[in-house]
Structure formats: C-alpha cells, structure tokens
Amino acid sequence: MPQAYSIVFGVMMVSLLGYTRIRSAVHGTKVYQARLYALSIFYVIFTSYLTFNSFSYGVSLIYIAPYVLTFVGAEFLSNRYSDRTLSFWKTSAGNVYAKGGLAIYLIYISATAARIVISLFFLGSVTALFVYNPVAELQGVNSVVSISLIVSDFLLVIGAGLLIGLNRKINLHYKRIRQDVETVPTAW
C-alpha cells in the first residue's frame, strides 16, 4: 500500500474509533451486554495481535510477561476506580444508559494513534500493523524501532486493560440496575 494511502487509512481508523468512543463517553449510550462483551473481545484481540506483530519485528519474547502483568494491573485499577467517572440512568421503558470514562477512551485512542504513527515512520506503512511478517524477525530491526514498538505496545496494553476494566464495571452496574439492587434516576 502506498504511503499516502496508509496515512489516510490510519487517520480514518483513529478518527472513527475516536469519534464513536468519545461520543458515547460524553453523551451516553444505551447499555447492551452483548456490545460490552464484543467490544471487550475486540480490544483484547486487537491489542494481542499488534503486540504479536511486534514480536515478528524483533521485539523480544521476554516482554510477554510484563505485557500481561500491565494489562491485569490496568484492568484492576480501572475496574476499581472507574465508578468516579461513570453515571447511569434509565428510561421509563427500563433501558439503561451510561456515560463517562472519557479519559480511558482518550488513552486507548492515543495509544492506537501512537502505534499507527510508529508503523508509518519506522515500519513503512500502516498495513504493517495487520500483516504478520516472520521474515522481519530474521532481518533484524534497529533498537529505535524496537523501543518504539515496546513503548507503543505498553500503551496499547494499558489502554486495553483500562477499557476492559471500564466495561466490567459498566456491566456490573447494568446487572445491578436491572435487578433493582441499584437505583438510578429515570429520564424521559
């Protein structure tokens, strides 16, 4: 893919992700458990694939353990402290809505943007994000690229962990609201 197309593709991907996630964090959105699970699975798969792809570009496999520990730590902290940023309400029809977590979405979007920029400048195109290249490991990559990939991977892992923790907390509140254990204001 030519460099110009890669830039357009990268900007479009981050813009779409950013717009939809920021809009839902600011204005609120109807809570669907299936969507929460699907988004959580997407974040984990996307982050896992990108970190796996980094290993094909020369990042050492010893980073697997720190990535996993960072993910678990970020998920724990987000799950523990995201109550402060979330607000819930329900409609007279019983639909539950949630908003909040803007900082968490911004961290994930920034990490994704950083990874795209690193792929553009150091690996040659955004498509390097989505194409596994086992030959690249054999060719060797300079230390600047390796460090850049490691930093962006840690950012992605932190962002994904934060989002998983946020989604878990939203799901917990949703279940409690549906069971009438937790009361929230009714709008409309």
- Domain map of the chain by residue range? 3-187
- pLDDT per residue as tens digits for the range 72-98: 999 999 988 888 889 999 998 889 999
* pLDDT band at 138; cut points 50, 70, 90: very low
- pLDDT per residue as tens digits for the range 39-51: 899 888 888 888 8
User: What pLDDT score was predicted for residue 157?
Assistant: 94
- CA–CA distance, 160 with 42 (Å, rounded to integer): 10
Torsion of CA 47, 173, 107, 136, to 10 degrees: 0
Question: Residue 102 above 50 pLDDT?
Answer: yes
| Tokens 């977590």 sit on residue | 101
Per cent of the chain over pLDDT 70 is: 82
- Give yes or no for a contact between 28 and 91, defined as CB atoms under 8 angstroms apart: no
Residue 29: beta bridge partners? 98
- Give yes or no for a contact between 96 and 176, defined as CB atoms under 8 angstroms apart: no
Question: Residue 36 above 80 pLDDT?
Answer: yes
**Angle value at C-alpha 35, between 34 and 40, nearest 5 degrees:** 100
